[in-house]
Amino acid sequence: MEMNEVLEKLPKHLLNLVIDQPYNDYTPQDHALWRYVMKQNVRYLSKVAHHSYTEGLEKTGVSINEIPHMYGMNRILKEIGWAAVAVDGFIPPSAFMEFQAYNVLVIAADIRPMDQIEYTPAPDIIHEAAGHAPIIADPQYAEYLQLFGKIGARAFSSAKDYEIYSAIRHLSILKADPYTNKKDISKAEKKLAELQGGLITMSEMSLIRNLHWWTVEYGLIGDLRKPKIYGAGLLSSIGESFSSLQADVVKIPYTIDAVNYNFDITTRQPQLFVTPDFENLTAVLNEFADRMALRKGGIYGLQKALESKTTATVVYSSGLQVSGTLAEYLADNGEPIWFRMGSASALSYYDEQLEGHGKKYHKDGFSSPIGGLKNLYTPLEMFKDNDLRRNGIEEGRDVELVFESGILLKGRLEQVVRRKGKIILMTFNNCTVTYQDKTLFEPSWGTYDMAVGNQIVSAFQGPADADAFGLTFEAPAEKTHKINHTEEAKKLHDLYKEVRELRQGNYTEAPLLKIYEQVNKAYPNEWLIMMELLELASKFGTDKFRDDLRKHLEKLRKTRPALKTLITNGFDMIDDVVNVRIEPSVA
C-alpha cells in the first residue's frame, strides 16, 4: 500500500483488513464491463444525479475507460483530504465506519460478474470507486460521512449482528462467483433469511446501518417529486438508478423514522428517502446520536455495554475513560453508583491511554464508584488542593470517603491524578470499599485505583485507545473467490484485449472483422465484445460490417430476454441517444 498523509493516520488495528489491489487480476473483459457501466452512468446520471457526482468523477480520479488504480486515485483524493484502500469484500460494519471516520474510502477490490452488470448484492469496485468516491468531493457531504463514521464506529453491536454480517458476506461471495452452484446460493439465502427473521431487538449498529443504507447507499436529494440521486448504491447501478426515480418506488421525506426501515441487499428497494439537502443528513444523524449510549451515558449506557458482552468504554464526567468488558453495575434511584469490568481493562483520557494503566496493570479488571460525596455540593472531580485539604483528603494520609449513594471507601491516599484541572483518578493502598452489606474491594486485592466523576456521560463499543489496548480486526477467514477462468474464457479475454488495444491506437476495419468472425464462431452469445466492436465500427467501419454487427446483437436481444435492456442501452449509447431502459427484475 502506497501511504500518504491521510493513510498514515489510520490506527494499526485497521491495517489487517487492507489488501493490495489485485490490479493484474482484472481481465480485459472486466475493463470492458467497467467501461460499459461507466459510460452508461455518465450519460444518464449527468441528468439525474446530484451535481457533485459528475464534478467529483474528475476530482477523485475515477477513469471512465478502465478500472482505476488505487495509487492513482489516492494521489488525487489526498487533495480533498481523503484516501482509499482496497479490502476483500464486506468488512465488519464497525471497521467500515472507523475507516470512514479517518476519511478513508473502503473499496472492495473485486468487480461484479457479467450476469450482475446492472446490479450486484456484493460490494465491488464499481460500487465503491464509481459510487462513493465522486460524491465525497462535495465538502458538506464529506463532513457528513466523516461524522457518520465517528458516531457509527462507536455504536453497540450484538452477537446477532456479527452472525448476520457473516451470513451476508458469505452470500455475497457466492453470488460474486459466476461458477457457484445454485444450491449453495439457495442454502446461504435461507440461512440469512432465518437470521434476519429472528432478530427482535435492534442494536444501535443495526439501526445506524439503516440510516447509512437510506442515505450513503440509497439516498435521494432535493424535491420530493423530482429528486436527484446521491447514494452510491444507485450511482453504481445503471438499472436501479433508473428504476429508483420511477413512480412505483415510494419516495419518503428523510427523517429519523428511517431507522425503522430495514433493507434487503439482494433486491431493489421498494421505497427510498429524500433529504432536502446534505445539512438535513447531519441533523438527523445528530438526532439519532442523541439517543445512543455514546451521548446518553447513565444507566442506559451501562446497560448497552453490559448487553454487548464485548469490549466497551464508559466515560466519566471528569473525562476518564474505562475500557473493558462490563460484568455488572449497581444503581440507586435510577442512577448508576458503581460498576465493574470483568476483564483486563485500561484507563484513558481523550482516547489516549494513561501511562501505567493498561491491560497488563489492570489484568483482573477494574471497578469504581460513580457520583458525588455526601453533603458536598462541589463534585470531587472539581476539587482544588485546598478543597481536598479542607475535607481531610491528602496524599499520604488515611481518608474516608462517603458517597451520596452510601458507598464507603476507607484507605490511604497515595496519588491524585489531574487532567485539565480536573481530578480523574485517585490511588489508594490498604483500601476497603463497601456498599450496604456488600464488599466491593478489600486490601488483600492490592492497590485500588478509583475513577473520579459525578456521572457516566458516555458509553460506546470498543476501547478508547484501540492501539494501546491491542484491538485487532482479524481479516475474515472466508475470502472472496479468486475466479479460476476456463481456457475458453481466457481465450475470450484475449479477444477483449485485442479490442482494447485497437481502441487505444490506430485501426482499420480488417482487424475488427477478424475479431468479429472469431467471436461469432466461438462465442456467439457474447454481447459486450460485439457492442465494443460496433462502437469502433461506427467510426471507421463499412455499412455492411455495422449492419452485420447490429443484426447479430438484434438477434441476441430477441432470443435472450436478459440482454434486452443492456443491448438497447448500448445501441442508444453508440447512437448518442440519452435514454435508459430497464426491465423489472431482481438480482
Alpha carbon separation from 207 to 152, 202, 257, 292 (Å, rounded): 10, 6, 10, 10
Burial class from Cβ neighbours inside 10 Å (0-12, 13-18, 19+) for residue 487 reads: exposed
| pLDDT score of 584 | 35
SS3 245: coil
- Tell me the average pLDDT across 521-540: 92
Q: Is the pLDDT of residue 74 over 80?
A: yes
pLDDT digits (tens, 9 = 90+) for 94-141: 999 999 999 999 988 889 888 888 777 778 898 888 888 889 989 999
CB 172 within 8 A of CB 89: yes
CA distance linking residue 363 with residue 345, whole number of Å = 6
- Tell me the average pLDDT across 67-76: 86
Q: What is the CA radius of gyration of the chain?
A: 29
Q: What are the φ/ψ torsions at residue 239 (nearest 5 degrees)?
A: -70, -50
CA distance linking residue 493 with residue 338, whole number of Å = 66
| pLDDT score of 266 | 67
Residue type, 30: D
pLDDT digits (tens, 9 = 90+) for 476-507: 888 887 888 889 999 999 999 999 999 888 77
Percent of the chain with pLDDT strictly greater than 90: 67
Kindly give, in sequence order, each residue whose CB lies less than 8 Å from that of residue 477, ignoring residues fewer than 6 positions away: none
- Tell me the average pLDDT across 221-242: 90
pLDDT digits (tens, 9 = 90+) for 239-288: 788 889 999 999 999 999 999 998 877 677 899 999 999 999 999 999 99
Q: Residue 1: which pLDDT band, with cuts at 50, 70 and 90?
A: low
| pLDDT score of 504 | 86
Biggest CA–CA distance in the chain, Å, is: 102
Which cell numbers in the block locate residue 112? 461484479
pLDDT digits (tens, 9 = 90+) for 434-465: 999 999 999 999 999 999 999 999 999 999 99
| pLDDT score of 89 | 87
